Amino acid sequence: MFGYGSMWNAAIGPEVENDEEADIVRASGFSDELVGQRLVQAKSEAIVACDRDGVIRLWNPGAERMFGFSRNEALGQTLDIIIPERFRSRHWDGFHTMMRTGQSRYADGALLAVPGLRRDGSLISIEFTIAPIRDESDEVVGLVSVIRDVTKTFEQLRALRKEVERSGNGR
């Protein structure tokens, strides 16, 4: 159910809109499925998909790199393995609402910035987007998320703010 091709197509929709698009796609060799497979196999971004119970069903090499859990360790676990404990209640409230209603302000491309939890217990700053995965009857059966580690950027901004505060107070 959550293979690379099916996850990608469920998240982004049909491959082409019309015959002209189909011809362009065939000529380029860049099918949605091929592009989706390459993105999922990449290490640059974490891509995580879960079912409607929050159980991880897809864990790409980027997720391994970012969070420190191997694919075998992550698959079958709940998202709790990457959510700091103090944020879990809020996360699950929003998650269950999304599963029940199919609606989320983050499903329309808004970035969510939160702390993430690594296997070693350390926290990282992450930004991510989500997309619902729907079955043939349009019921939400899971979510896929693209996650980026922004820890270095966050730390640089924090240091810059402190520097600005210091220079403003030193006048």
The pLDDT tens digits along the chain (171 residues) read 444 444 444 444 445 556 777 667 667 777 778 888 888 888 889 999 999 999 999 999 999 999 999 999 999 999 999 999 999 999 999 999 999 988 887 767 778 889 999 999 999 999 999 989 999 999 999 999 999 999 998 788 888 888 888 887 655
Task: Determine how many CB atoms are found less than 10 A away from the CB of residue 128.
Answer: 19
Q: Where are the alpha helices (DSSP H) in 83-150?
A: 85-101
For residues 2 and 142, the answer to whether their CB atoms sit within 8 Å is yes
Look up tokens 């990608």; give the residue. Answer: 8
Q: Where are the alpha helices (DSSP H) in the chain?
A: 4-12, 19-28, 32-41, 61-67, 71-74, 85-101, 151-169
Quote the CA–CA distance of 35 and 122 in Å, as a whole number.
32
pLDDT for 29: 73
Quote the CA–CA distance of 100 and 52 in Å, as a whole number.
9
pLDDT for 22: 67
Tokens of 162: 């402190």
Quote the CA–CA distance of 72 and 10 in Å, as a whole number.
23
pLDDT for 10: 45
pLDDT for 168: 78
pLDDT for 13: 47
pLDDT for 157: 85
